[in-house]
Every structure is written in structure tokens, then in C-alpha cells.
Amino acid sequence: MNYQVDETHDPHLASWVASAVGHPDFPIQNLPYAVFHRDGAGPRLGVGIGDYILDLTAVAELELLDTILAAALRAETLNPVFALPAEARRDLRRRLSVLLSDAACRSVLEPHLFPVTDCLLGLPAQIGDYTDFYVGIHHATNVGRLFRPNAPLLPNYKYVPIGYHGRASSIRPSGLPVIRPNGQRKPPNAEPPDFGPSQRLDFELELGIWIAESNGLGNPVPIEGAQRHIGGFCLLNDWSARDIQAWEYQPLGPFLSKNFQSTVSPWVVTPEALAPFWRAQPCRPDGDPRPLPYLWSESDQKQGALGVQLEVLLSSSRMRKERAEPVKLSQTDASNMYWTVAQIITHHASNGCNLNPGDLLGTGTISGPTRETYGSMLEISRGGAEPVGLPTGEQRSFLEDGDEVILRASAQVEGFARIGFGDCRAIVQAAPAL
């Protein structure tokens, strides 16, 4: 299955929602899903259109959709939508595109449009499981060089999409603060370790992948069918305590340095919306091994990489008080992923692991080849040796209390409307007292 450009991507298509025309994130060509609360009421499903969110739970009661689609939209999370067959999810997008572009539908739908600023956006799904991968090869090389100067990439990296199982319970939506974690730390010249607030708190610029259809326990996912299992994408900040990580990560990998919180953007950008922006996977450098047969698909190599641009901005507490604009720390591209999304899903399920609707996968930090494209402070500051200057005269090697980190992403190519992911942001709060 390859995502096809169709009438919903027409750059001339316009919505009767005026703010959607030319909107940098949510024109009618996007139509991202979200879960929202309003006026203290319970969660409802919505779709973003310009500066508004359309209440899909209400639309489900208007008899404008077929029975299967309407039933999925009556839920309090997007899990039933993700569980729909890929063809039904595509049909839902097409139907919403018609409803939001046909002026004859305006009088029926307009009462169910609400300004996004009047709504509270929550987690899009009930997350059963969360796995974080490590497919940004530049990040893996940079971090490996800091921790293992003589062997930055371990021998398995170019054969296996490396990942670890994270903690679903501590994933939070954009806008909620992140609390600095306490933990064991062992500076290089200290003996023994001590315990206290992390001094090397970091962000990680990632994409999140929402799982759609379940493969069922014991049933691998062939790479040619992996795209059916993609429910959508979001931004993901996998906060990391680098000093805790350096002490704990051997021999079993990340633990308390990662699971204190991860932040996701609340909007789910569907793979169908991204159809114009899928592109060929960059060729592997000469000498790199060809993936094993179960991870190889000619069609995936031709249209399995995402042309999504990502950026990280930082605003300190002082900057906000002085009304200074956030500083851009990094700008990179999702095509810097060494493995495709289909390869990630296929490998995850290759042993029969059952992926379920609403599961979340992280790509791992997506860095580019140069400092201005690095996706973490660990890389940008070169392990703390080269701090970043802020317009207030402050410097940052790692994150301080009061810092706000903002992730953004967009996709644009000539001949199509630009679409965006919305913000993924959080402010660092002090660690709890010991």
C-alpha cells in the first residue's frame, strides 16, 4: 500500500472556514485529529481546521457519515479510529474534506466549530505500549562518540532498527510542565555516586508514530503491508537526564533517565495527509550492509521516507519576561532517519509482538550532519563543552528550570499546500524536594 495523492490534496481546494485558507499548519489539506475538552465537559474527538476544531463526536450524530465511521467517532479517544481498516480511515478523510469545503454544509456544521484557544487538547489515544527507537544515525553517532569514543556505532546498528520499551504512563500532551527528575549521578571523578536533581536535563527531537490496525499476537507484519498499521504522526520530546543515563545505561539501556516523562503534540497528522511528502529513502553510504530480506521492500525504498522539516526552539524564563522571541536551536529533516517507518514497524512485529491501535512508537532523536541540525542539547553543546548563547546573555549547556522547549514540524513541496503538526511544548519545573 502506497499513499496516493487525491482530490483532498488539491492546493486549490478551499474551506468555508476562512482561517483555514493559507493556514500554516491546518489548511483543509491537512485535517489532523485530536481529543479535546471544552467547558469542563468530557473528552470528544475533533479535527483541526484553521484556527478551529470541529467536534467530530457531534458530527457523528448528524447522519452525515456511514455507520462504521460514525461509531468510531463516538468514542473518547482515537483508538477506535485507529482500529478502522486503512480504507475506512481514507474514506473518513475524504468525507471530512467534502463537508468542510462544501458551503452547503456550513449551516449544519458551524455550530460544532470551536476556537482551538477555547479548548483543552489532551492525549489523542489511550496508549497501551510505548517503544522508542534510535533510527537517527547522526544522533546515534554523535552520542556514541561521547560515550564510546572508539566505537560510536555498535556493530548491530546498521542491521537492526534499535529500540527499547519505554513507559506509556508518563507520556503527557503538549503544554503540561516537565518536572526535573531526581536520580543517581556519578561524575567522572566521583566515588561513589550521589543522588539528586539531574544537572544535565535534555530534550530529544523526535517524531511519534501512532499505531493503527493490530497485527495480533504471533503474527508478524510483512514490510509490504506495514503502512496499513500507521495511524498517524505527532511530535515527540523524549526528555532525557543525561547524567543519570550515563551511569545507568549499561548493561540494559535507558531506565529512569527516560521514563520520568515524554511530551507529545496533541494533533495526529494522518499518513494520508502526508501523501505528497513521502519520498525515496536516501541511499545508504557505500559499504553499508543491505537490510536483511524481511526489512527490504523496493516500494518502501522508493516512497518510505518522510519529507518533514523539524525544528527546536528554546525560551528561558528571563527571555519570556523580557518578551524576547524564542531562539531556534536546530532545524533538521525526517529524511535523516536511517530506517523507514515501515522497517520500524516490521522489525517490531517480526518476533510476533502484537502492536495495538493507539500504541506509540518514537523514532529516536532525528539529527542532521551539522551542529545547526542536531536534535539534542547533548549534541549541540558537545556534551556541555560549548554552551549556547541566548539573547539575554544567558548560556545553556543543558536545560535550566523555567526553560521552555518548543518542537515544530511542517511539510511543504512545490505544487501542494503546506501542512504542519502544531506545537509540542513544555516548561521545565524544579525537581521535588528530597
Q: Which domains does the chain have, with CATH numbers?
A: 7-121 (2.30.30.230), 130-429 (3.90.850.10)
Residues forming the annotated binding site for Ca(2+)? 132, 204, 206, 238
Out of 23, 138, 139, 347, pick the active-site residue. 139
C-alpha to C-alpha distance for 376 and 260, rounded to whole angstroms: 17
Residue 190 is predicted with a pLDDT of: 84
Binding site membership for substrate: which residues? 134, 148, 245, 249, 365
Average pLDDT, the chain: 96
Which residues carry a binding-site annotation for Mg(2+)?
A: 238, 258, 262
Nearest alpha carbon to residue 131 among 161, 151, 159, 96: 161
Is 12 in the active site?
no
pLDDT in tens, 67-106: 999 999 999 999 999 999 999 999 999 999 999 999 999 9
Residue 48's pLDDT band (cuts 50, 70, 90) = very high
Q: Binning pLDDT at 50, 70 and 90, where does residue 1 land?
A: low
pLDDT confidence tier of residue 265, bands split at 50, 70 and 90: very high
The per-residue DSSP string of 230-278 comes to: EEEEEEEE--EEHHHHHHH-TTT--STTTTT-EEE-S-BB-TTTTGGGE
CA 27 – CA 240 distance, rounded (Å): 34
Amino acid identity, residue 235?
L
Structure confidence at residue 434 (pLDDT): 80
